[in-house]
Chain A
Amino acid sequence: MTPRIHIDTAACNGYGNCLVAAPDVFDLDPATNIAFTRPGHPTDADQNTLREAEADCPVRAIRISES
């Protein structure tokens, strides 16, 4: 099952921990400092790092679910 990522953009405060945990999947918008997912991600291979990104978000702005 490919995971799904929900980013609460109102909660995101630009800490960037998701980039550290899953650099292939997440990036921060340079203008707004809000996290977004890179094109083509997530994939099955990203699975391991996604839970880490979810847990590392200080403001709980990331939710991972199964599609």
Chain B
Amino acid sequence: MASTIEGFDHLSPSWNDSTLWDAYERMLSAGPAIYSPLHGGYWIISRYSDVKAALRDHETFSSASGHRIPMVDGMSSIPIDYDPPLHSHYRSLLTRALTPDSIRDLQPWLTSMISEVLASFHQSGGGDAVADVALSIPLRVLTKIVGFSPATVARFRELTEDIWRHGTAESQLRGRAALVEAVDRDIDEHRARRPDDYLTWLLDAEVDGRPIDIGEIHSVLLTLAVAGHETTLNSVGTLLYLLASNSSLQERLRTDPGVAPLYVEEMLRLRTPAQMFARRTTREVDVGGITIPEGSWVLLLNAAANRDFRQFEHPNEFDIHRSARGHLAFGWGIHQCVGSALARSELRILLETLCQYPPITLAADPTFTAIEAGTHFGLRKLPLSFADSAPRS
């Protein structure tokens, strides 16, 4: 059993929907902490209670060396790659863009924007739901929430893909530089015109009692640009895939769109879009009887933990009646996703709005991604069509 785990390489381009979940299941049985000699050597933790304990203990499991294995110098992101106290200062810069009040006020806009996206998708008779629906939604949200121009966000997907395409340090740094160049145009425009939005607010923000510098502004904007669209892209794609490939699941939702939030939580648990994050130990630590030395890289498999039978009964089944409470899809502890309330709203509204249209079905086989950027899993292509061509009146 353990030998099948030895080859586990989160960066392998060969992962897909049929191999990935099996690997997690083997990992969960193999042991509480497994050592992999790949990528300079790292430990893998997959069980729910161990992953959660590590996420809670941010002093032992530090983020200051980065959240990816291997981590490239110069690719640090605010606030995910920092420990307190700097982490807390940086995090508050992002929460400013995503307060509960602002998310609540955003609901009518989200509803009309998502209706527009789905109406256009339906009018075309379907198509690739990844490109036409899943990507469209978060990119439009970024213009609304941050103040990026539509021209800038239109480049985000392409530039983000460039960063991770070759996986080398050079390509990551080159991709990052291109992204910085893109957001610089918006920064200049905001400095000149000063519209009343988050980006203008950020330009004048203070960190730790001093003015924020341009490197920090870039990092915050890149976090919002990259984290803000890859995660939602994969969440939307995965939800649409689940519905299109399971007619009774879709029928259940259409009978009572009020259950949409349960669909969202169960999708997040079962097919966690942001699958894993790295930490580095600041001291020797015991994980389930196994000693991990100080200074070790550790990969926390949130997606596997969400399928741990010790925590969730029949973990591989999609069951909206279970309690998915406490799933680790948004992380846990001080680095917990800042955008979770926004994501939940977007996904709920998407499902509710979808019920106003005829049922969706798979028009061809979908294509899954590998674990992109060492973290993200979802669909690359999802050809969908509608059961008939006219919207319900």
Select from chain A the residue with minimum beta-carbon distance to B340: A16
A17 in contact with B332 (CB, 8 Å): yes
| A40 contacts the other chain (CB 8 A) | no
B333 in contact with A58 (CB, 8 Å): yes
A58 in contact with B334 (CB, 8 Å): yes
B100 in contact with A55 (CB, 8 Å): no
Chain B: minimal CB distance from A64 (Å): 16
A20 in contact with B333 (CB, 8 Å): no
| A30 contacts the other chain (CB 8 A) | yes
Cα separation A15 to B58 with both chains bound (whole Å): 15
B100 in contact with A14 (CB, 8 Å): yes
| B101 contacts the other chain (CB 8 A) | yes
Enumerate B323-347 residues with CB–CB distance to A below 8 Å: 325-326, 332-334, 336
B336 in contact with A55 (CB, 8 Å): no
Residues of chain B with a CB closer than 8 A to A14's CB: 100
| Interface bits B92-112 vs A (CB < 8 Å: 1, else 0) | 000100011100100000000
Q: Is the interface of A mostly helix, strand, loop or mixed?
A: loop
Given contacts A15-B336, A58-B336, A59-B334, whether A31 and B101 have CB atoms under 8 Å apart is yes
A23 in contact with B333 (CB, 8 Å): no
| A33 contacts the other chain (CB 8 A) | yes
B104 in contact with A30 (CB, 8 Å): yes
CB < 8 Å neighbour of A55 from B56, B95, B99, B325: B56
Chain A: minimal CB distance from B237 (Å): 26
Interface size on B, residues (CB 8 A): 12
Cα separation A10 to B332 with both chains bound (whole Å): 20
Residues of chain A with a CB closer than 8 A to B101's CB: 31
Select from chain B the residue with minimum beta-carbon distance to A34: B100
Select from chain B the residue with minimum beta-carbon distance to A23: B325
Cα separation A31 to B325 with both chains bound (whole Å): 23
Cα separation A9 to B98 with both chains bound (whole Å): 19
Residues of chain B with a CB closer than 8 A to A31's CB: 100-101
Enumerate A5-23 residues with CB–CB distance to B below 8 Å: 13-15, 17, 20-21, 23
CB < 8 Å neighbour of A30 from B100, B334, B336: B100
| A24 contacts the other chain (CB 8 A) | no
Cα separation A33 to B326 with both chains bound (whole Å): 19
Enumerate A36-62 residues with CB–CB distance to B below 8 Å: 55-56, 58-59
Chain A: minimal CB distance from B91 (Å): 8
Given contacts A17-B332, A33-B99, whether A56 and B104 have CB atoms under 8 Å apart is no
Residues of chain A with a CB closer than 8 A to B56's CB: 55-56, 58
Cα separation A59 to B333 with both chains bound (whole Å): 8
Cα separation A14 to B95 with both chains bound (whole Å): 10
Enumerate B81-133 residues with CB–CB distance to A below 8 Å: 95, 99-101, 104
Residues of chain A with a CB closer than 8 A to B104's CB: 30
Chain A contact residues, CB within 8 Å of chain B: 13-15, 17, 20-21, 23, 28, 30-31, 33, 55-56, 58-59
Closest 7 interchain pairs by CB?
A33-B100, A58-B334, A58-B333, A20-B326, A20-B325, A15-B336, A58-B336
Task: Identify 18 new A-B residue pairs, CB closer than 8 A, beyond the known A55-B56, A58-B332.
Answer: A13-B95, A14-B100, A17-B332, A20-B325, A20-B326, A23-B325, A30-B100, A30-B104, A31-B100, A31-B101, A33-B99, A56-B56, A56-B332, A58-B56, A58-B333, A58-B334, A58-B336, A59-B334
14 contacts between A and B (CB under 8 A): A13-B95, A14-B100, A15-B336, A17-B336, A20-B325, A20-B326, A23-B325, A28-B100, A30-B100, A30-B104, A56-B332, A58-B56, A58-B332, A58-B336
